[in-house]
Amino acid sequence: MALLNGSSAPQFALDADVIVVGAGMVGAACASALLQAGFRTLLIENNPPPAFDLGDEPGLRVSAVSRASERFLANIGAWQTVATTRAAPYNRMAVWEHDSGPETVFDAAEIAESTLGHIVENALIQHACLGAYERADGALLCPAGVTAMSRQDGVTTLSLDDGRTVSTRLVIAADGARSTMRALAGIDAPAHHYAQRALVATVATACTQQDVTWQRFKPSGPEALLPLVGPRASLVWYHSPERVAELESLSDTDLIAAFHDHFPDRLGRIEAIIGRGSFPLVRAHATDYVQPGLALIGDAAHSVHPLAGQGVNLGFMDAAALVDVLVDARAARRDIGHVRVLRRFQRWRRGENALMSEALHGIQQGFGSDSPLVTAARGAVLSAGQKVGVARRAMCRHAMGLSGDLPRLARADSVL
């Protein structure tokens, strides 16, 4: 990879077709896809990505990667690295309410798929996407942060914190939930802060994990155990910020005891805590995804409640859809930075993301209520999911990201 970290940056990198700001999972995947589609691409990241070492224990941050995202990552040459390094496939998702309610099991076999998805460390996904970008000889400016943005005559110029400027026709902001680019563009993203935090722990388990994710919904918040490779798992416990602070103050031994007291026995024994941390939960949605010469993707455009593991999957579909739109615009000899071109991307993705965000918010609110009416309604939904094969299969395909209007790079028969 051409790592441009000095003032000797070659001229070609300062005149890219597209500049992607943010080399997290979504930005790195998007830059890689654009480069492979033939766009001269420059990627800017302000934090050097951590090295990924297979000898290390699994990282704390993991994601449930849907089948649609897997296809996208495979089509840009990143999934091969993930699959051969450390990814835990899951073929079943078990979901139940409280301790006794009906249990719904979603099974890949029912819809003739080999898996429902994989649990993968975020750092590995980022490493694999950057690897694909590097193999295509992509240019990365790192560490470099954007401090100002201006646009004139169809060209956007970014000022960097080291004094340099770079210009392009189109900037793609993939700089996360607290996006500087979104702020520089003056785009609002109204936010709802949940009265909940997520306590996440990577744990060593007595038994090797099976190919199943477990999720239980309680009024205090969802709880999940996600399989990692070997006798390792990721445990997620959503609760009030006060309760999470109490749990975080416990020693590892006491925290393991709290897990054993609280989580069902069938999830197995926890032997040790490898890593732990907690995260605030915010739902936000940018009022606009585009402006002349600018498009927002990933968490820069939307943050959703993580209870169904959809956030980065939505971001990957944003990236794949935007690449489709830009490839089509180029074929039609249109300016890729023109707002009319970019509005097609906004029409495609903003509605889908809003629907998913609403659905997740509804689940969070619905399962967080003890009202008898709401309890009856969610019991009916879970029983329908368990008893009605057609409903279960539809839910399953949705969770895998295989329903809706899929971008070309997320289809099985991808041709750009």
Using CB under 6 A, list all residues that contact ligand FAD: 21-27, 44-47, 63-64, 145-146, 174-176, 180, 198, 200, 279, 298-299, 306, 309-313, 315
* Nearest-approach distance from CB 387 to ligand FAD, in angstroms: 27
The torsion region of residue 154 among left (phi > 0), alpha (psi -120 to 50) and beta comes to left
Q: Which two tokens stand for residue 18?
A: 């597209």
Least Å distance between CB 23 and ligand FAD? 5
Least spacing, CB of residue 221 vs ligand FAD, in Å:
12
Q: Which is nearer to ligand FAD, 64 or 235 (CB)?
A: 64
> CB of 312 within 8 A of CB of 26?
yes
As beta bridge partners, residue 192 has 283
Burial of 193 (0-12, 13-18, 19+ CB in 10 A): exposed
Nearer to ligand FAD, 200 or 342 (CB): 200
Shortest Cβ 394–ligand FAD spacing (Å): 20
User: Distance between alpha carbon 358 and the CA centroid of its chain, in Å?
Assistant: 17
- Nearest-approach distance from CB 382 to ligand FAD, in angstroms: 21
CB neighbours of residue 46 within 10 Å: 17
Query: What residues contact 359, with CB distance under 8 A and at least 6 apart?
Result: none
Other CB atoms within 10 Å distance of the CB of residue 177: 17
Cβ-based nearer residue to ligand FAD, 273 or 312 = 312
Instruction: Count Cβ atoms within 10 A of the Cβ of residue 204 and give its class: 0-12 exposed, 13-18 middle, 19 or more buried.
Output: middle
CB 90 within 8 A of CB 229: no
Torsion sign over Cα 375, 381, 387, 393: negative
Closest distance of CB 181 from ligand FAD, Å: 7
- Residue closer to ligand FAD, measured from CB, 101 or 404: 404
Between 59 and 145, whose beta carbon lies closer to ligand FAD? 145
Residue number with the smallest Cβ distance to ligand FAD: 24
**How far apart are alpha carbons 54 and 64 in whole angstroms?**
19
Nearer to ligand FAD, 276 or 344 (CB): 276
The size of the chain, in residues, is 416
Minimum CB distance to ligand FAD, residue 239 (Å): 13
| Residue number, 178 or 387, with CB nearest to ligand FAD | 178
